Amino acid sequence: MTTAAETETAGYDAEFDVNKLYVWGVSLLIGFIGYSSQIFVFWGYLGGAGARGFVVLGVFNVLLHLLYYNYYLAVTVEPGHVPLGWEPPRDGANVYELKRDTLKPRYCRICKGFKPPRTHHCADCDRCVLKMDHHCPWIGSCVGFWNQGHFLRFVYMVDVTCGFAMVLHGMRMYELVVDSLNGTYYVRQPTQTEVAFLIINMTLLFFVLVLVGALSCYHAYLVSRNTTTIESREKDRVAKLVRSKRCRPTPYPYDLGVVRNFKALFGDSVLLWWLPKRMVGNGLDFSI
């Protein structure tokens, strides 16, 4: 006979395995596109291009490994949880959030603790997450204060790396089409394996660029406003209430201006935004 505790544990294990499947799926997709492109497509026509070919392949591998490393950090770095016993400061605080109906500090009945500003409870993770943006199955966790920068660097590195790979695939495809139309193969005649991987990888790259590109644009907009996915939805609901005259307009306190908003997440040096770094701050209070 199965006890309730065993049932709950089994459910947790099943969910954990699903999360691992998502992560493994993303890792395998990155590896498949990244390395099959080089082995079956790039090396054949760039390997004989001398120093220029090696430089191009070197740049591609730097981008690929930066992508991998940022994904690793997005998966392994905790999004941030509320310290045990945390309470809203009674004075000297920049801002803290109140419940709309009671005008008291926000409190999580599930975690049995107060919520710092921008903190929300995640039903999937079963805990409150600091500056929660959303729960992302592709990293098997939430995007929160401590891993948001890693997650967004990963997303943008997907755009850059896949865009670079698409250009290289397109160059090879152009050569093959031109040579086919002219009836000559000045570079080399392609094998069936190369053509197959050329088509497969270009198809995968197209869909990845469209889907992740849309996500990148949306999150770039959110970062420019220093807001999260959850906060953006909350702002939309407030805007509807204001239009229906059910509440008064309330200024959003965290928008510091576009430049300061990006620097708050990626660091002060624009040239180093692509490099992984630890978030500055504690996730409990924010500049306004």
User: Is 136 tagged catalytic?
Assistant: yes
Residue from 125, 136, 217, 247 carrying the catalytic annotation: 136
SS3 content of the chain, % helix, strand, coil (to 5): 55, 5, 35
Per-residue pLDDT band at 5 (split at 50, 70, 90): very low
Q: Give exposure, 19-57, as e/b (b: 16+ Cβ within 10 Å).
A: beeebeebeeebeebbebbbebbbebbbeeeeeeeeebb
Residue 152 is classified by DSSP as H
Q: Summarize pLDDT for 188-240 with one digit per residue, the tens.
A: 677 889 999 999 999 999 999 999 999 999 999 999 999 999 999 988 888 88
Q: Summarize pLDDT for 155-202 with one digit per residue, the tens.
A: 999 999 999 999 999 998 888 888 777 777 655 677 889 999 999 999
pTM for the whole structure: 0.85
